[in-house]
A and B are shown apart, each in its own frame.
Chain A
C-alpha cells in the first residue's frame, strides 16, 4: 500500500524517521548511545534528533557498554523506553551480561511485576576491511535467549516499521542493522506497520524452491531469484524479519508448496539462525521435501580484513543460485561462484569510497 505521505529514502533515513516518529508519539522514548548526537549521527540514523527532541531525550554516553545497558534497563524500569545504539554488534558484546542475565529475564525472574521496554540497536559491519571485530553477525546469540526478541530489517519500509514496533514492544528487542542496508533506497509509507513484529514476509512468490533469508542476504536472495528465473526456475523468497520469534508458519507453508529449501544467513553457519530454519523445515515439512535443504552462510573463520580474502568470504547471489541448483539436481559450474574479476566486492556499491 503506497500512500501520498510516503517518500523514497535510504535505510539509514528510514531508521532516523522511525525514531523521530516514535519520539513524537511517546515522550518516554529516549535515544542514547556513543556518537548519537555527533556530526555523523551513527551513519545518519540519529542525525538531528538531539536538535529536534532536546538533550534530555537524545544524548551521548560514556564508553561503558555494559554499565550503560544497565542504566538503560533501569531507565526502562523507571518508565522510559530507551533506544540504546551500538555502532557495531562487536562493541555490544561488552554488554552481553546486562542483556542476557538482566534485560531478558527481568520480567520473568520477578514474576511479571516489572518489564523492560528497551530497544538495543546493533550494526553488522561489512566491507572496506571491517575485519574480525567490526563485522560479526551474532543475531543467533541473542535469538538463543528466551525473553529477547531479535529483529533484522532489510528494506527502508521495514527499518522504519520494525523500529516503531520494537519501541512499542514492552519487552527487550535486539534490533540488528546491516551497514550495507543503510544506503539502500526504497519507498517508505508513514502508515501503521502492516505486518506485526514476529511475522516473516514473502517478498517474491515462486513455486520451485523456497529461499528464506536474514538481513542483507534477502537482497542476495532476490538477485538470485532473478537469475534463476532466466533459467526458468521460480524461486519464492522469504524475508524472515525476526530471528526470535521465528515465523515457522510462513516458512513451512512455503516449503510445503515448493518442496525445496535454501536457507541464507549473514554470518557463519554453525548454530546459526539459518541452520535453525533448516531444522524447522526438516522437522516440520520433512514429508514435503524432495531434496535435502541447503544452507548458505559465511565460512567458519573470522572475517578477514584484506579485500583479496574478504571477497571470497561473503556468499553472494551466485552461491544461492548454486544451492538452489543443487536442490534441483542440476549441474553447478565451478565458475558460477568464482570471485568475478574487476568487481570490488568490499564495497556496497561502485560509487562508495571508504572508510566506514
Chain B
C-alpha cells in the first residue's frame, strides 16, 4: 500500500473504531464514560504519522484517536473500555485511562490539562538521558486555560525540551463555548510565542495541513531542541460524552454542526486521494471490509473476555 493510502486507512480505521463503539454502546456493556473522537481524527493521525515509534504521546479524556494513531493495540483498548481483566489498564482505568507503552502511548487522564506537565517531565527525563525522543501531548483548547499549561510551556522552553504541545481547538469545553471562556483577543499561539515557543496553526480537519505543520515543527525541533506548539482547528461531531448526538440540547446549533460535517476530515482526504489516484472505490471497500472484520473480532473478544476476579481490587495499588 502506498503511503497516502496507508494514511487514509489509518483515518478510516480510527473513524470505524469510534463508530463501532457508538454502535455497541447501547448494549451497555461498556460501563464507563466514552468521549468519542469522531470528526477530530485528522489531528491525531496527522501528528502521530510524523512521529517515530520511540517518540511518546500522552493525551486527555478524548484519547481514543491518539491512542490508535500512535499504534496502540485495539483489543487491549476495547477490553479496558469493557472493564475486563486484560484491558490495557487491567480494568482500573477505562476509556479515560488508555495506555500502550510499547507503542509509545504513555497514558491519558481526564483531568483537563494534567498530562501536559507529566509529558513535559517525560521529555525532561529524555533530555537528562541524552535521548532525542519527542513527546507529543494532545489537549483541547480549554486546557490552555489551566495553570499547568502555562507552567509546562514555561518549563519546556526554559529547558529546551522536545515537547510538541498539540492543542485541538474544537470550540467547546463540554457545553461551554470558547466565547464564554476566553476573550476574543486571546491567542494561544501568541501565548506560546510569549514564552519564545514557535507555534504552527493549521486546519485540524485537513490531514495534509496537519502533517505539514507537524513535519515543520519536528524539523525545527530537530535542528534546535525546544518545544513547539501546534494549534489545530477541529470539531467534535458526537455528544461530549457518550455515543449519541447532543446538538438538540441547545448549546450549539445544528447548522454549525452541519457546516463542520461538510468539512469531514475523512471525506476530504478520500476525495483528494481519489483525485490523486492513490485510492479507488474497490480498494477502499476492501480496506473497510478488513477493518470491519478486525473490529468485529476485537469486540467479540472483548465482550466475552473475563472480568477482573472479585477480591483483586487492591492489586496494583502499591508495590
A: residues with CB less than 8 A from B are: 30, 56, 61-62, 64, 66-80, 97-98, 101-102, 106-115, 146-147, 149, 169-171
* Contact status of A111 and B122, CB under 8 A, knowing A67-B151, A68-B155, A74-B117: no
Cβ–Cβ contact A66 & B107, under 8 A: no
Partner of B118, one of A80, A102, A146: A102
Contact indicator B155/A71 (Cβ below 8 Å): yes
Q: Does B125 contact A (CB under 8 A)?
A: yes
Contact with A along B89-104 (1 / 0, CB 8 A): 1111100010101000
How many B residues, CB 8 Å from partner?
42
On chain A, the residues within 8 Å of B319 by CB distance are: 107, 115, 169-171
Identify which of B93, B116, B148, B155 contacts A109 (C-beta below 8 A): B93
B121 at the interface (CB under 8 A from A): yes
Closest-CB distance, B95 to chain A (whole angstroms): 12
Q: Does B317 contact A (CB under 8 A)?
A: yes
With A64-B154, A170-B319 as known contacts, state yes or no: A80 contacts B117, CB within 8 Å.
no
Name the residue in B120, B124, B318 with the highest tally of chain A Cβ atoms < 10 Å from its Cβ: B318
Q: Please, how many angstroms separate the alpha-carbon atoms of A232 and B115 in the complex?
A: 59
Given A74-B118, A74-B125, A101-B111, do A112 and B90 touch, yes or no (CB 8 Å)? yes
Measured CA separation A73–B158 after assembly (Å): 18
Pick from B91, B97, B119, B148: contact of A66, CB below 8 A: B148
Complex Cα distance, B43 from A110, in Å, reads 25
Asked if B255 is at the interface of the complex by the 8 Å CB criterion, the answer is no
A68 to B91, CA, bound (A): 29
Tell me the bound Cα distance from A149 to B317 in angstroms: 11
Chain A residues in 8 Å Cβ range of B90:
111-112
Given contacts A67-B151, A77-B106, A102-B109, contact A108 B316 (CB under 8 A): yes
**In this complex, what residue of B is CB-closest to A82?**
B121
Inter-chain contact A70/B154, CB cutoff 8 Å = no
Partner of B128, one of A77, A80, A101: A80
Within 8 Å CB of A146, what residues of B? 317
- Complex Cα distance A80/B315, Å? 24
Question: How far does the Cβ of B64 sit from chain A's closest Cβ, in whole Å?
Answer: 16
Q: Please tell me if B239 contacts chain A, counting CB pairs below 8 Å.
A: no
Q: B108 to nearest A CB, angstroms?
A: 10
Whole-angstrom CA separation of A4 from B122 in the bound complex: 42
Assuming the contacts A66-B148, A113-B101, asked whether A71 and B89 have C-beta atoms less than 8 A apart, the reply is no
Cβ-defined contact, A67 with B152, below 8 A: yes
Shortest beta-carbon distance from A126 to chain B in Å: 29
Residue of chain A at shortest CB distance from B80? A111
| Known pairs A68-B151, A70-B116; A111 contacts B87 (CB<8 A) | yes
Q: Is the CB–CB distance between A75 and B316 below 8 Å?
A: no
Check B118–A73 contact: CB distance below 8 A.
Answer: yes
Q: Which residue of A lies closest to B87 (CB)?
A: A111
Q: Which residues of A contact B121 (CB under 8 A)?
A: 70-78
Asked if B88 CB lies within 8 Å of chain A CBs, one says yes
B129 within 8 A of A: yes
What CA separation (Å) do A149 and B126 show in the bound complex? 27
Residue contact A112 to B151, C-beta cutoff 8 Å: no
User: Once bound together, how far apart are the Cα atoms of A56 and B151, in whole Å?
Assistant: 20
Q: Are A112 and B315 also in contact (CB < 8 A) when A74-B117, A102-B109 are?
A: yes
- Most interface-central of A56, A108, A170 (chain B CB within 10 A): A108
A66 lies within 8 A of B126 (CB): no
Q: Which of chain A's residues has its CB closest to B96's CB?
A: A109
Does B183 lie at the interface of the complex (its beta carbon under 8 Å from any beta carbon of A)?
no
Cβ of B189 under 8 Å from chain A: no
CB within 8 Å for A112 and B316 given contacts A74-B125, A78-B121:
yes
Report the separation of the CA atoms of residues A66 and B148 in the bound assembly, to the nearest whole angstrom. Answer: 7
Residues of B within 8 A of A102 (CB): 109, 111, 114, 118
